Amino acid sequence: MALNLLMLGPPGAGKGTQAERFARLRGIPKISTGDILREAVHDKTEIGARAKAIMDRGELVSDDVMIGIVRDRLERDDAADGFVLDGFPRNLAQAEALSTMLKSINAPLDAVVAFNVDYAEIARRIAGRRSCPTCGTIYNVHDAGTLGITHCRNCASSSLLVQRPDDNEHTVARRLGVYDEQTRPLIEHYRAQGLLREIDAMGAIAEVEARLRAVLPQCLEGARA
C-alpha cells in the first residue's frame, strides 16, 4: 500500500532533511515545493523568474502556481506508491486544494507530521545551513559532524557549499511571520482530521529521525507494506 505523508513545520525545523531520509527509506519521492521553485529559478523558467523576487522577500508564491506545480508532480509515475510532501500546503487554500487533488487520484494522506522546534534553534540552524550547488545535499556548518565544512562529501564537487539567498536574517524573520499567520493554523486543521503526529524536532538529525519513525510505525513494516 502507498504511504502518503506530509511534513509540517517552520523554516529551519529540519523537515527537508527528515523528508529526504524518510523518502529514501521507503523508496518514495520527496516532493519539496521549495526545491522545485529553486530549480525553476536556477533554470530561469517563467515560473522561476516570477517566483524569485517573492522568495527573496520571504513571501508565498501564489496558490494557483503552487497548486499547479504540485498537481503536475503528483501525477508523475514515481508518486504512485506514495510521497513525502515538504513545504506544501502552506495555507488553508492549498490544504483544501491538496485534499481535492488527493481524492481525485484516490491517494488519501496517511499522516501529517508537525515538527516542534523553538525559534532560537531555528535561527541557529538557518544561519549555519549550506547546500551543495551540484547535488543539493544540505549541511550545517555549526553541527559537530560537519563543523566548518566547505565542500560536499556526497558528490565530491569542487564547488563551495552555498547559502540560500533567503536564509538571511531579514527574510527569515518574514518567513517565520508568514508561517505563524498562514501555515501554523494547518496544525489544528490536520489535528481535527485525526492525521496529526507531533514530534520534538530539537536535537541531532539522528535523534529527530528516531522520533519520526516512532510516530510512523507503518514505515517500519517494510517498503510498500
Could you list the residues that contact ligand AMP (CB under 6 A)?
11, 33-34, 37, 54-55, 58-61, 66, 87-88, 90, 94, 166, 175
Quote the least distance from Cβ 61 to ligand AMP, whole Å: 4
Of all residues in the shown chain, the one whose CB is closest to ligand AMP is 34
- Decide whether 66 or 216 has the Cβ nearer to ligand AMP: 66
Q: What single letter denotes the amino acid at residue 41?
A: V
Q: Which is nearer to ligand AMP, 58 or 128 (CB)?
A: 58
Does a cis peptide bond (omega within 30 degrees of 0) precede residue 89?
yes
Q: Is 222 left (phi over 0), alpha (psi -120 to 50) or beta?
A: left
Q: Which of 38, 129, 130, 211 is catalytic?
A: 129
Catalytic pick among 50, 124, 164, 191: 164
Q: Is 71 annotated as catalytic?
A: no
**In sequence order, what are the residues at sequence separation of 6 or more whose Cβ sits closer than 8 angstroms to the Cβ of residue 164?**
38, 129, 131
Q: Smallest distance, Å, CB 169 to ligand AMP?
A: 15
Those residues with Cβ within 8 angstroms of residue 125's Cβ, 6 or more apart along the chain or in another chain: 12, 14, 140, 142
Q: Which is nearer to ligand AMP, 48 or 195 (CB)?
A: 48
- In the complex, minimum distance from the CB of residue 147 to ligand AMP, in angstroms, rounded to a whole number: 24
Q: To the nearest whole angstrom, how small is the minimum distance from the Cβ of residue 126 to ligand AMP?
A: 10
28 vs 70 by CB, closer to ligand AMP: 70
Cell of 175: 518567513
Whether 129 is catalytic is: yes
Residue with cell 516570477: 50
Shortest CB 33 distance to ligand AMP, Å: 4
Would residue 164 show up in a list of annotated catalytic residues for this protein? yes
CB closer to ligand AMP, 118 vs 221: 118
List active site positions: 15, 90, 129, 164, 175
